[in-house]
Structure 1
């Protein structure tokens, strides 16, 4: 007859000898909870990166349009009325040497909103 002496009172150590060792529900819940906290802290950083890209695209579009507006003014003598005048020649415009833009830039924040040109050539 063999007598086993159990020194540890840990239930997992006893189960290990029986071959039923596994994770306790509390351990799994703690790991899931910690993963949730980490994801919650990391998620806002990804959203702000997208917003920063949109801001940079908008700034680049504005600079590109304003540069094209200045070239238009040098050729024609007046500022264009809209961004489409930079892509296609307005009716009756003989001094137009464009196109000054290949295509009309799309606003990254709102695709339906078109860039407007002010009276002094700045983009609104």
Structure 2
């Protein structure tokens, strides 16, 4: 006895595929320029996010060692046991950051232990120009806010 397979395979037609490609192209032409015109704004946002993450690591460091790293110890104290004073008696052997991030412009974040200020430190990126001060996207971005 012969059995006839009645499975019907239905695929997309060339017209349907072309309509989808055109729709994706139109959406891309509208959406991509909106994002591409803001790379500097995205870098500023990324720097602020990094600063918040480093600030959190600094707070964890302070809770364990009872002080922030000195300016000389710097941010490296978050990934490697610091030498010099103040001594990091209860330093976490796993560290507080796996590695120190660079700012979105490829420069290291700046750290200064202030000792008496309410936050105890300044943490900043010099912005797109890599120099202190500046305006717009070249302005310093720090833990003190906008």
TM range (shorter): 0.5 to 0.7
Using the alignment, how far apart are the partners of 1:60 and 1:46 within structure 2? 20
The CA deviation at 1:46 is 2.4
Structure 1 pair 45–112 and aligned structure 2 pair: CA distance change class (3 A): closer
Q: Describe how 1:5-24 pairs up with structure 2 within 5 A.
A: none
Matched residue count: 82
More strand by share: 2
Larger Rg: 1
Q: Describe how 1:9-88 pairs up with structure 2 within 5 A.
A: 46-48=36-38, 50-81=39-70, 82-88=74-80
Q: Provide Cα deviations, 1:41-79, integer angstroms capped at 9, x if missing partner.
A: x9797232x112101110011000111111111110111
Conservation of the 8 A alpha-carbon contact between 1:87 and 1:100: yes
2:100 to 104, 114, 119: 104
Who is 1:16 aligned against?
Answer: none
5+ residue gaps, structure 1, are 1-41
Who is 2:82 aligned against?
Answer: 90
5+ residue gaps, structure 2, are 1-31, 115-119, 125-146
Who is 1:7 aligned against?
Answer: none
- Normalised by the length of structure 2, the TM-score is 0.48
- Normalised by the length of structure 1, the TM-score is 0.55
The CA deviation at 1:87 is 0.5
Query: What stretches of structure 1 move > 3 A for 4+ residues in a row?
Result: 42-45
